[in-house]
Every structure is written in C-alpha cells, then in structure tokens.
Structure 1
Amino acid sequence: MFEVRDRLLADHPNDPNRPSPEALNAPEKAGEASEGELVRHRHSTLMSLLEYEAERQAEERLQMQIDEDYYDHLQWRPEDARILMERGQAPLVFNESRQTIDWIAGTEKRMRKDYKILPREPDDEQGAELKTKLVKYTDDVNLTQWHRSKAFKQAATAGLSWLEEGVNRDPEQEIIYSGMEDWRNVYRDSHSRNIDYNVDARYLFRRRVIDLDYATMLLPDSAAHLRNMAGRHEDQDLGDDIWYLGEKLTGASETEWTSAHSVFGARAAYMSREGYRDNSTRRSVELNECWYKVPERVPVYAEGPLAGRVVNPADPMQAQLAGAGLRTYEAVKFRMRLMIATREAPCLDMASPMRHGRFLLVPIFGYRRARDGLAYGAMRGMRDIQDDLNKRRSKALYALSVNRIVMDEGAVDDPEETRQEAARPDGIIIKKANKALTFEKNMADFQANAELAAQDSQLLRNAGGVTNENLGRDTSAQSGKAIGLKQDQGSLTTSELFDNLLLAIRQAGRLRLSHIEQFWTEQKAIRIAGERKPIEWLEINKLDPATGAIINDITAREADFIVDTQDYRASLAQAALDNMFELLGKIATFAPQVVVSVLDLVVETAELKDKEEWVARIRKLNGQRDPSKPPTPEEQQAEQAAAAKQLEQEQIVTGTAKANLEKLQADIAMTKAKMAEMDVGAVLKRCETLLQAMQAAQIVAMNPGVAPAADEIAKSSGFVDMHEGDVPVVDPQGPAEPPLPAIPESPQPEPVEAAPFPTLENNR
C-alpha cells in the first residue's frame, strides 16, 4: 500500500521530490543579490531540475531505446541468445513488427500535409499568399519534409521525437532553420500535460557534445572553463548516465560488443549492450542548452493591434506605433530565457531573442501513458508478441532439427558421440547386436509451436493496427468493399499518430512564420520553381526609390499558419472520393451542368500530382475563380463589365415588358369601354320600349275603346301576337285569382296635340 501511495505522489504534478521551478526567478533576497549571484542561483536550480528529470524519465527512455532496438532487429537478450548459440542454434529474428512501423511511416510520406498562411487583417491577403510561398521555400532549403518524416517515424516507434524551428547564424545559409531532434538529446518538463507544451511547461533541456575549438569560439568568455571540462570525444557520454532496474541506459551510438564479440561472433549484433569506444584524441565538451520561463512584471498594450502584447521598443512593428499613444498596463507574464552551461557553471544567460516567447522544440508524441504522461509508441504493444514469435519459431525449428534416440543400455559404446552423429545429415551410428536403437521425431512439439507462431503473426497485426489488407497480403475478405472496410479499420487504429503529427506541424509552422516575420528583414530575391511552371522570382523587403516605401514588407504584419485538413488516412480518403464520383455519376444523368460547376471541388479533394494546376485550368474553362483568394484587378474589371452588361440587358427587357404592358392595359380599357357602351345602349332600348308599353297600357286602360283600333294598327304594321290562341290553364282546386279592381270612369279629356313620349333623358 505504501509503495503505491509513494508512487502516486511521485507521479503527481505537485511532486514533493521535484525541485521548485519557482526558484528560477530569484534568490530569497533578490534585491540584495548581484546579477552574477542570480545567474549562479538559476544555474544551480536548472541542474537540479535536469537531474530530477533524468531520474524521472529513466524508465521511459529505457523502454524507448528497447523499442527502437526491436525495430532494428535487436530483439534477443544476451542470456537467451547465449543458450541458443551454445546448443548450435542461431538466435534468428522474424521481425514482423517492423512492417507495421514501415507502413505507418510510409503512409505519412505518401500523404504529406499541405498548409497555407491566412491573414489577420482584411486587406493583407496578398501578403499572406506571399508568406505561404516563403514558408514553402524554407521547406525546400531546409529539407523540412525529410526531417519531419524522420521525426514522425521515431515517434511512431519509440513514442516521442522533436521538431526544431530556429534561426541560423551562418551568413552563408538561410537565416530561417528547421530540422528534427532525437529524443535522446532532450529532457522535457515531464509534468506538462497540455497538448501545447508551451502552456504548462516551465523548462526544456537539450544536451550536446561539441568540439572544444568550436565551443571556445562560440563562448569566448568561458574558454578557460570549457578547456577544464573538455575530454576525449568518446568519454563525453551523451547517453543517460542513469541506472534503472540494474541496467545502465545506453545511447544510440553504443554498439560495441566487447567480450561478447568473442563468444557470439557474427551474431553479436543481436546482443547490443555496451558502447563502442575508440582511441581517438578528439577533444569535446558537453554543453546543456536550457530554455526556461520566469515570471516578470511587464508593461502590456491595452488597445490597438498590439493589445495583449508585451511592450518591446526593439520590435520594428511596435516602433511604427510608438507615437500612437496606446494605453498600457502592468501584468505578470512568463518570459522565456536561455542559458548555455556545463554541469558545473553557466556560460551564457540571456532573455530569449524570439518575439513569440515559445520553446523552439516542438514534441511529436506517439501515445502518452495516462498514469504519468510518459510516452510510448506503436512498438510497445508488439514487443511481447514479437518475443514469443521468435522463441516459438526457434523451438519449432529445434524440434524439427533434432532426433530423439531411444536405445537399450549398452547399445553403443559412447552415447555422446552417438548424439553428435545423429545430429549430422550424413552421420554413421554403429550399435551392438541384439540391442535396440531407434530415432523419434517430436512432431507434436513442432506442430504446437508452429501453430502458436502463426497466431503470434496475426496478433502482431491486431496489436499494431495494420491489417493484412493494409499490407497488401492475402486476405479472407472476398469482395473489394470488404477489403476496403478492413483497410479502414487499420487506418482508424493508427489515426491518433497522424493527428499528433498534425498538431506538431501546426505548432512548428507557427514558430517558423513568427521567425520569418521577425528576422527576414533584408532585401532578398527568392526563386520559386515548380514542375511545368516557369521560374518565379519574389522580391521581398524591396525599397521603392520613387516613394520610399518598402514593397513586400514581410515584417509589417502578422499572419496565421494553418494546416490543410486533408485526411491522412489514405483508404478513408479514397473511399470518400469513390462515393463522391458515384453520386456525381447519378447527378450527371439529369443535371450535367451541376457536375461541371463542382468539378473543381472534386479535383481539389482528390490526391493528385500538380493538383493546383488541375484546379486552376478547370476554373478557367468554367469561368470560375478561387474563392480563397481576393479578386485580381483584371477579375474585378471583368466582373464589373459582366454586371454592367447584365444590367443593360435587364433594362432592355424591362423596357420592352413595360411597353407591352402599357399597350395591353390600353387595349383592355378600350375593350371595357366598348362593352360598357354596348351594354348601356341595350339597356336604354329595353327601358324605352318598356316605358312606351306602359304608357300605351295606361291609355288603353283609360280608354278601353281604343284597344281594338290599336290591335289593328299593330297587325298592319307587322307585329304578331306571341300569345294568340293560348288558353290559360287554371287549377280548379287552386284559389281563384282576385279580380282586377274596376277602373273608375273619368271625364273625357279634351283633345290636345300629340306630345312625344317622355324619354329617359327627360325623366332623370
């Protein structure tokens, strides 16, 4: 119980055995301490932290070394190999775990990431595009892709590697430097848990063995101390001078077998333990590069484009805003510092010259142990299975090679000699008469070990996450779709490794971009070359003599480094592309114009060589433009001309439609007027006829004797009685209609002149 408790305390971020990083800031009486005392105090604290991390990371580094040995076919322990060699059997290695690492590393090489620079300000798109080309140029001159692939392979194998971004002091080389660093040379703050190491880490150590003459020229003020600390190059043991579980940790270059060589001969490479040492007189010294953070109270901008940044008068960008009168405030911030020292004394201590205030080494993790954050790679889970595979195959081979002899007592004179003869293919064995002597093959032992070895081979595929389908081997899957699904399974299992690499590339790119914006201040012409493209020359920081302005000023503004989000998993990306083509094939049957309009997006998704050229030509044919880039003056003019032409056509169409509408409305009004006139005339005629009929009826009613004369006049005029001969039918059971009221007699009117019948006009 107490051992578990002590282990948990040691693994806790507040480890009581850990030297306090807070002591880096100052001694207890900082006001009374001189600068030299402060530096010595910091050196003492840093060396204590280095010793603490060396001890804490001892297990991790031992296991990482073994992981890389397994990849390099160093898989037999000396004591096990010795037993095999003594019985005449070679310690064979059937290194199937290596293929898993090679597949992971090969996938990264085939699916390398692309990236681009995005502006932070609305009108800086052109500057961001220029910086994208500059970052790719620095990739070429520094062989960044190869360094990155090497670091990723080491992280996949052992669990940890480092990308480096820095500044080169050699004037004959590019000032911006990038590379990788072996995990053996670096000690990190093992209490850091954040995915961004800069968030919660306080220090980082890198150990280097440097030739004495170069070290004294680099640090002339410490030349005497360096000479005292120097020794033979092979004596400067860069490996971990730490003992763990009774074994001394070894470095990568330790490959001598010493006395083991005389025992194992050519097979000694399987038992690497001791470092190779020669008699060179080359003198070197070990230096420690210590990057550490100390809290300081500093002025910080409270407004403007530099809000939140520490005031630094030496920064050219801040110098341009010196007269703007921006408000500032005091804050406590961690400031990065650099110390170069031996184990005994500091040689240099200074504030970090980098504006970003971050560590220059970026970790690439494989996996991290949840208990204590220690790193491990894909090889860790395959080592035990690989050991069992080697031993099972060795046992099966031994069982198949040897003969078991069963004989009566006294059948031969020398049993040992008989054993040796039986092991030879052309051996001769003389036995005595009447004595039995037979040979037996232990086939059951052979078959059992062979079957277990076959299972180990399959278990290695499962443990490493790389299936037979990923490796292109024979598979039990029958259809292509089933094979693709199994390939996807392997890709998903290893996706965390590629995701960690993506994070490291983004963090390293952020450092590189910051270095370009800070240190690339001189005028320079840079050659940008591409396949089947003319050479492009970019002039940066060029002074315009006419205006005095600087053209393509890299340091004027800041941008952001963004990694492309293309899928690292080749099989999944291919499956998605196949599904996209299948969908487009269906759409093309009824809407081919849709396929043409999105063809540039399809090609941009595919993994093709010179993909940008493909996309550019397709967009040119379709009249499309790159949506991620601002329009050029030519494109703006073309858009304005197209908009003006479209507006003109719209005006013509609108005018024609308006004229047609007005003519149609006029025709409708005229038709309505005619219809109204026709209707009014008919109504008038009917009304006049009705009025005349009523007047005539009134006259007849007043003078009944006039009716026969009126009928005769109507008949002679051609009128026909439409109801003549009709007899009204009266329902006998129905009520009788009331008789008409009698018309009273009235005096006869005096004759007057005939007046015209009143009209509707007169009766209004």
Structure 2
Amino acid sequence: MRGRSWPVFEVSAKRTESPVPKIEPAKAAPKPNDLDSEELSRLHGALLDYYARELDRQNENRLEQAVDEDFYDSIQWRAEDAKVLKERGQAPIVYNVIASTVDWVLGTEKRGRSDFKVLPRRKEDGKPAEKKTALLKYLSDVNRTPFHRSRSFEDSVKVGIGWLEDGIQDADDEEPISSRYESWRNMLWDTAATELDLSDARYLFRSKWVDLDISEALFPKRYEVLRRSLSDSDSTYFIGQYGDEAMDSAEYANETSGGLRPASYAQNHRQRVRIIEGWVRRPVMASRLKGGQFSGDLFDPSSPGHVEQVNSGQAQLVEKVTMLMHVALFTSAGLLWFSPTPYRHNRFPFTPIWAYRRGRDGMPYGMIRRLRDIQEDINKRASKALAILSSNKVIMDEGAVDDLDEFEEEVAKPNAIIVKKADKELKIDVDRDLSQWHLELMSRSIQMIQQQSGVTDELLGRTTNAQSGIAVQRRQEQGSLTTTKLFDNLRLASQVQGEKQLSLVEQFMSEEKQFRITNMRGGPEFVTVNDGLPENDIVRTKADYVISDADWRATMRQAAADQLMEMLTKLPPEVAMTMLDLVVENMDLPNRDEIVKRIRSITGQRDPDADEPTQEEMVQAEQAQKAQAVQEQALQLQLRGQAAQIAKTEADTAKIGAQIADLQSKLAGTNVATQRAAIDTAQTAAVAPMLAPVADQILNEAGFVSAPEQQQRALEQSAMQEAMARQQVAQQEQQAAQQPQEPPAQMAPQPQPGA
C-alpha cells in the first residue's frame, strides 16, 4: 500500500450499462486462514461499518468540496444553467477571480517554506541531535517533502483539508523512510474527533483501486476474497456502496469509453478491485517505559536505547491498557492483512492540513467555499452584460414593418437599414444602458472577493487608492492577518509530521550510513551516523523536532530589523558594533548565518543560543590566551626597561652631585686664599677707604662666593635636580600608559567535568 499512488474511482449509474466480465473459475480452496476466524470476521464487519458510516456522514460535504475544486479549475456553471444560456444564445462566461486569490496564498507558502531543527532532551545529546537534523534534511531532499507538503496545502486551501503520509517502504533503490502526498478524495476519518492532529480519533481510512493481478501478487493467500470483491457490487462495473462521486470520479473517467469505441472494447476492461486501508486504535495491554529519557514510549525490544534504559535501571516496564494502533487491509469481501502498527510513535501515518472547520459538525472547507456565491454572481453579471451589448432589443408598434422575418435578419446586421411605416413607433437597442449596471455590480463583487479573502490589490502588487507607502504597508499587514489561520494550521501540520519523521528515523535508521547534505552556500557536506562513536549514535537518544519560528514571521521580522537598523545609526559606534550580529540575524539575507558567524568572530561574541563552545571558539579562545600572555610579557619587559632607565638616571645624577661637591671643596681652598688676600686688601682699604669698592669688584671677578651665597646656590641646585628626576619619571609613566593594550578576549565557558 506504500508504493506508487493508485488511481481513484467514481460512482455513476452508467456503470450498470457496462457488460459483466466473465469470471474465471476459482482455484482450489486454500487452507483455513486466521484472517477468516470468527474474531477477525467480526472486526472486518466493524471496520466496514465504520467506513460506510463515515462515507455517509461526509458525503454531502465531499460533494461540496469537489465543487470547490471545480471552481478553481474554471468549472463554475451548473450543467443545467449552462444549457439554458446556450439555448438562449448567451455564452456561459467565466471570470475566474477566485483562482488568482488562491494562487497568491499558494505562492506565499512556496516562497516562505520553513526550516526546522532537532533539539536534544539532555545536554550530552547535543551532537546526536545535530546528526538527526542533518539526516532529516537529507530525507527531505530525497523524498521531495517540501513539494508534497505544498501540494497538500493546495488541497487544504481549495477544499479545506490536505493529507501527508509518512511511513516505511521496502525499496532497494530508495531510502526506507518515505514522505508523500495523498489526495483528499481517498481519505475518510473519524468525524467525532476534535483535535487538529486527530490524536483523539478512533480510526482513519484510505481507499484505493488496484488492478486485480497486482492485488493477487501482493496477497496470494487471499485469492478468493479478491475474486469475490471483484464480482460483488463494489466493482468497476457496478454502482458500489463503498465509494462516492468525489472518490471514484477519476476511476470512472478512466474506465468509460465515452461512446467513441466499439462495444467490443468494453469487454476488455481492466479488472480492478477496491482495497481499503484502515488504521484503528484498539484497547490492549502493552508495555510502556516509565522513567528515563524514553519515559511514556511503547517498549520496543529491538531498540538499543530502550533495552539499555531498562537494563541499567534508569527505566522500568509498566503493563497498562493502551489504545494501540492497528492496521488492516480489506475489501468488501474480507480481510487481506491485519497487524499492530509497525511504528513506535503509535500515531496515524497520515497527517491532515486543515483550512477551516464547520462549527456544527467539524467538516472542513476552504477559501473557495466562502467566495463561491460571489464568483457565481460575477459570471452571471458578465454573461448578462455581454448578452445585452451583443443583441438588439426592439420595441415597435404592430405593423411597423411588412415582413418580421426580413426585419429580424436586417436588424442583426451592424450596417442594418430599417424601413418602417409612417406613424408607427419602432425602437432598437432598448435597455442597452442596463449593461453598465451589470458591469458595476460585477466590479463590486470582485472587490467583495478581495475583502472576504484578504488578498487585496496591495498584496497582489496592483495599483490601489492608497496614497502613501505606510498606508500600503498597513493594508498588506491587514491582508496577511486574514490568511494567518491557513499558515498557522500548516505550521501545526508540519510540526506533527516532523515529529513522526523524527520517530521513524530513531526507530528504523539504525545502521551505519554516510549521506550528503548541502550547506547554506550550496556546497556538499558529508555526515556519518551510527559508526560506533557516541556523538554519531542517533538510535540511543531521544530528541524533539522544532519548527523555526522566524521563518513563519518573515514580514514582522523584517520590519523589526528595519527598526533596529535605524536605531543603530543613532547609537555610539562601539555600542552599535555589539548589537550588529543580532540585527543581521533578523534579516532575510542569503548566507545570513555565515555573515553573523563572521561578525561574532571579529567582535569576540558568542552565539547566545549555544550551550557549549564550538571547536573554532575553543581554538580562538586558546589563541587569545596566548596573545594576551605575550602582550603581558612584553609589557613587563617594557616596565623593567623603564625602571632600569630611571635607576641609571638617578646614578648619573648622584655622580654629577659628587663632582659638584669636589669642585666645591677645591673652590673652598681657593676662597680661603682669596679671603686672605681680601683681608690684606681690607686692611689696605681701611687705610684707604676709597679703594673698598674696587676690591669687591676684583673678588667677584675672581669667582669668590661668600658662605651665604654658597648655601643659597646649593639649595637651588638640589631643588632643580629633584624636579628634573620627577619630570623624567612622569614622562616614562605617561609613555607606558599610552601603549595600546587590547582587552583580553572573552573566554568561552569550558565544560565542567562531570557536567
């Protein structure tokens, strides 16, 4: 059931006109099969009843969903209405305004596909979580998951619900885990469920039409059941009670000849049988883990992580009643397969993407349902206006013309010449002015579609009556808020689908594997898992799947980034530099992560979300430590050199002082001799007073200094030497302070032992 998509099928009364094919004689009766036991026969009857009841409950809404999809495909006139218009000579025109509205929403989803990551539940499981993220991205690439999700979202927008399937497949040339789209026409679910992820649903069904020979190859032991299914009322050739028009329309179109082929062609129809895949929850006793990182999971004896947790005593097994998922493949005649779910997550392998749900019964509907009446009015107004403008309405008195047939033929000509009788009234193109009123109402209906859907001219980039850029932006935000519910439901579905994919990876990707992923610059990177290293082991750890919030709020994030950039221009440069990485992180730029990484490598800042330093950060921290040690050593050497220079200066100063003292002592002896000569001179001056001034002048010129003068000069010289020494020390300290010193690099936190 997980191979290529099987075509679907339609119910129509015309099938009764097809001849019944000749049924081959049955083979020898096989041995009794467990699937035919009394218990499983009752289960088959219950499943078939569940399926038929849901088919009846959802039939009316499914017909409306098919009409919604037809409206997008420009099939907007009822057959009987179109027939009346054609008989009247009026064209059933279609102005498909809905299609452009829906296309904008679909294009927005394709342009804004989100990213995801896997987060560990324990600190020591960070590396395995990174490997799981890389593996899920690889599976997304090979399975083309984003394209399948977009296709399912398209169903959701049009008809109200889309479906995604995630499971395992047995294919030698493909990955064991698959993700694919499933048509809404094939799906039925428990309508009593109210949760959007169907976690409270009891059952879910998928119906497929399969060639008889293929089904016999898949289930050789159920040959008789398949043959009975082919010959009963639920076959290609009869109106079946286990299908409806929405489910079987494509199959009927493929099987009918349309009257273009001879009758013998109908005798060679493909023999096909409806196979129903049912997933049902049944209350059974099951073992669950209590405690440890896998607490609450169903115990899987093939899981190394589960077994280790139990053997180590970190978790224990608890037997309790559990709504365990089971899978059954069956036809209207009997079971083909029945077993417990192969998936550890114990969920449905199908994930719904909802649009809107009807309040009274929970039935889904999409954007088109709200706009259908307005769209029909647009078509009718356009058709009526064209009919008025393309035809001639005549009011005239009886007998105004001689031949009415000739008049009718002439008045239809663009260059008609009409001859009427005198005194007879004849008016042509009466009520032609009505066309403009139909066109006016048609224009208002188009505006109403924009108001109802939220996809306005501003969102579509068309000319509007908004005068300023701010006004246009406000209207764009208003329109985006109108469609937010659709994208919020898509985000929920993506989250649920990702959780299932992560569980499948942890369960089934247990072998060593090397795979390639592309980095942000488009280059290849090779990742290895399950090679024996603890950091590459993805099956012994539990992690959580998280959708990136930033990708779902691109418009708001960009507006915030613009405000931050404006704020940075008003801050001091050193403050702006510390915030630059956060601003760039909020921008929609190519290679954004690499730009932020390089900015932080320059500023020395770390990723605020990083739990542990990366290898590059540890290397950078080590290099910063070495550079700081070298810088401190150079500073010490510089200070030592300056101290030695100061000591040398002091020694030179002391030496000069000693030389000055020696000169002073020699000068003292000279002064004594001079004093003696002065005394003699004084005596002479006493005898001759008029000679004293002459003697003083002679002593001064000879260099004689008196004792008071010597003391005064010594004090002045000592003060001058001390001032010079202080000035030199101050200059050296100032030079040392002006040396450029880089601040020590921010050290990355080192992991503590036993953390």
Equivalent residues of 2:132, 2:538 under 8 A apart: yes
Instruction: Give the aligned partner of residue 400 of structure 2.
Output: 411
CA shift digits 1:601-650 (9 cap, x unpaired): 22222222333333333333333343434322442343356468769999
Equivalent residues of 1:120, 1:560 under 8 A apart: yes
Equivalent residues of 1:238, 1:251 under 8 A apart: no
Is 1:140 the counterpart of 2:141 in the alignment?
Answer: yes
- Cα shift at 1:576: 3.0
Instruction: Give the aligned partner of residue 636 of structure 1.
Output: 618
Relative to structure 1, the CA distance from residue 643 to residue 41 in structure 2 (aligned partners, 3 Å threshold; closer, same or farther) is farther
- Cα shift at 1:287: 0.7
CA shift digits 1:325-365 (9 cap, x unpaired): 54433322110100000022011100101011010001100
Is 1:371 the counterpart of 2:360 in the alignment?
Answer: yes
- The count of corresponding residues between Structure 1 and Structure 2 is 598
Instruction: Give the aligned partner of residue 482 of structure 1.
Output: 471
Relative to structure 1, the CA distance from residue 539 to residue 51 in structure 2 (aligned partners, 3 Å threshold; closer, same or farther) is same
Give SS of 1:603's match: helix
Give SS of 1:166's match: strand
Q: 1: CA distance between counterparts of 2:424 and 2:218? A: 85
Identity of aligned residues (%): 40
Q: Which segment drifts farther, 427-436 or 607-616?
A: 427-436
- Cα shift at 1:494: 0.4
Is 1:129 the counterpart of 2:117 in the alignment?
Answer: no
Instruction: Give the aligned partner of residue 543 of structure 2.
Output: 559
Is 1:47 the counterpart of 2:52 in the alignment?
Answer: no
Is 1:596 the counterpart of 2:577 in the alignment?
Answer: yes
For 2:448, the aligned partner's letter is L
For 2:620, the aligned partner's letter is A
Q: 1: CA distance between counterparts of 2:189 and 2:451? A: 32
- Cα shift at 1:279: 7.3
CA shift digits 1:645-670 (9 cap, x unpaired): 7699999999x99xxxxxxxxxxxxx
Is 1:576 the counterpart of 2:584 in the alignment?
Answer: no
Residue from 316, 320, 323 that aligns with 2:308: 320
Equivalent residues of 1:484, 1:571 under 8 A apart: no
Relative to structure 1, the CA distance from residue 477 to residue 373 in structure 2 (aligned partners, 3 Å threshold; closer, same or farther) is same
For 1:60, the aligned partner's letter is N
Q: 1: CA distance between counterparts of 2:85 and 2:346? A: 56
Is 1:494 the counterpart of 2:480 in the alignment?
Answer: no
Segments of 5+ residues of structure 2 without an aligned counterpart are 1-33, 640-755
Q: 2: CA distance between counterparts of 1:441 and 1:280? A: 60
Q: 1: CA distance between counterparts of 2:304 and 2:213? A: 36
User: What is the TM-score when the length of structure 1 is the normalising length?
Assistant: 0.72
Relative to structure 1, the CA distance from residue 36 to residue 625 in structure 2 (aligned partners, 3 Å threshold; closer, same or farther) is farther
CA shift digits 1:703-745 (9 cap, x unpaired): xxxxxxxxxxxxxxxxxxxxxxxxxxxxxxxxxxxxxxxxxxx
Equivalent residues of 2:255, 2:269 under 8 A apart: no
Instruction: Give the aligned partner of residue 610 of structure 1.
Output: 591
Instruction: Give the aligned partner of residue 461 of structure 1.
Output: 450
For 1:150, the aligned partner's letter is R
Equivalent residues of 1:208, 1:238 under 8 A apart: no
- Cα shift at 1:41: 1.4
Equivalent residues of 2:310, 2:317 under 8 A apart: no
Equivalent residues of 1:313, 1:319 under 8 A apart: yes
Relative to structure 1, the CA distance from residue 122 to residue 568 in structure 2 (aligned partners, 3 Å threshold; closer, same or farther) is closer
CA shift digits 1:149-179 (9 cap, x unpaired): 1111110111001111111211211111001
- Cα shift at 1:559: 1.1
For 1:412, the aligned partner's letter is V
Instruction: Give the aligned partner of residue 210 of structure 2.
Output: 210
Equivalent residues of 2:395, 2:430 under 8 A apart: no
- Cα shift at 1:99: 1.0
Relative to structure 1, the CA distance from residue 258 to residue 49 in structure 2 (aligned partners, 3 Å threshold; closer, same or farther) is closer
For 1:488, the aligned partner's letter is E
User: What is the TM-score when the length of structure 2 is the normalising length?
Assistant: 0.73
For 2:74, the aligned partner's letter is H
Matches within 5 A, 1:224-263: 224-230=224-230, 235=237, 241-242=243-244, 251=249
For 1:43, the aligned partner's letter is H
Is 1:222 the counterpart of 2:222 in the alignment?
Answer: yes
Matches within 5 A, 1:13-32: none
Q: 1: CA distance between counterparts of 2:257 and 2:390? A: 30
Q: 2: CA distance between counterparts of 1:612 and 1:147? A: 27
- Cα shift at 1:445: 1.4
Instruction: Give the aligned partner of residue 694 of structure 1.
Output: none
Instruction: Give the aligned partner of residue 511 of structure 1.
Output: 500
Instruction: Give the aligned partner of residue 529 of structure 1.
Output: 518
Q: 1: CA distance between counterparts of 2:39 and 2:166? A: 29
CA shift digits 1:380-429 (9 cap, x unpaired): 11100001111111111222222221223123344355334323324454
Higher-Rg structure is 1
Q: What is the RMSD of the two structures over their aligned residues, measured on CA atoms?
A: 3.3
Relative to structure 1, the CA distance from residue 615 to residue 220 in structure 2 (aligned partners, 3 Å threshold; closer, same or farther) is farther
Q: 2: CA distance between counterparts of 1:389 and 1:254? A: 32
Equivalent residues of 1:240, 1:251 under 8 A apart: no
Q: 2: CA distance between counterparts of 1:235 and 1:595? A: 75
Relative to structure 1, the CA distance from residue 90 to residue 568 in structure 2 (aligned partners, 3 Å threshold; closer, same or farther) is farther
Q: 1: CA distance between counterparts of 2:557 and 2:427? A: 63
Relative to structure 1, the CA distance from residue 160 to residue 235 in structure 2 (aligned partners, 3 Å threshold; closer, same or farther) is farther
CA shift digits 1:171-199 (9 cap, x unpaired): 2111110011111110011111113312x
Matches within 5 A, 1:613-624: 613-624=594-605
For 2:614, the aligned partner's letter is T
Q: Which segment drifts farther, 250-259 or 155-164?
A: 250-259
Instruction: Give the aligned partner of residue 288 of structure 1.
Output: 276
Equivalent residues of 1:236, 1:284 under 8 A apart: no
For 1:623, the aligned partner's letter is G
Instruction: Give the aligned partner of residue 707 of structure 2.
Output: none
Equivalent residues of 1:240, 1:250 under 8 A apart: no
Give SS of 1:390's match: helix
Q: 2: CA distance between counterparts of 1:48 and 1:42? A: 10
Q: 1: CA distance between counterparts of 2:247 and 2:170? A: 34
- Cα shift at 1:440: 3.1
Relative to structure 1, the CA distance from residue 470 to residue 515 in structure 2 (aligned partners, 3 Å threshold; closer, same or farther) is same
Relative to structure 1, the CA distance from residue 218 to residue 255 in structure 2 (aligned partners, 3 Å threshold; closer, same or farther) is closer
